[in-house]
Amino acid sequence: MAENKTKPTDASIEEYIADRANEQQRADCRELMVLLGKVTRQSPRMWGPSIVGYGTYRYTYDSGRTGEAPVVGFAIRGRELVVYLDVEGDAQQSLLSRLGKHKMGKVCLYLKRLADLDKSVLEQLVAGSVAAVRRRYG
In this prediction the pTM is 0.93
Closest C-alpha to 67, from 132, 136, 120, 4: 4
pLDDT at 3: 63
- Domain residue ranges in the chain: 13-137
Q: Is the pLDDT of residue 72 over 90?
A: yes
The string of pLDDT tens digits covering residues 9-49 is 999 999 999 999 999 999 999 999 999 999 999 999 999 99
Per-residue model confidence (pLDDT) at position 63: 87
Q: Confidence band (pLDDT; 50, 70, 90) for 132?
A: very high
What region, left, alpha or beta, does residue 20 occupy, with left being phi > 0 and alpha being psi -120 to 50 degrees?
Answer: alpha
Q: Say if residue 135 is exposed, middle or buried (CB neighbours under 10 Å; 0-12, 13-18, 19+).
A: exposed
- The residue-averaged pLDDT of 111-126 equals 98
For domain 13-137, give the CATH number: 3.90.1150.200
32 contacts 120 by C-beta, under 8 angstroms: no
53 and 44 Cβ atoms separated by less than 8 Å: yes
Least confident of 36-40, 66-70, 95-99: 66-70
Q: Are 32 and 83 in contact (CB under 8 A)?
A: yes
CB atoms within 10 A of CB 39: 22
pLDDT of residue 2: 58
Give the pLDDT of residue 37.
98
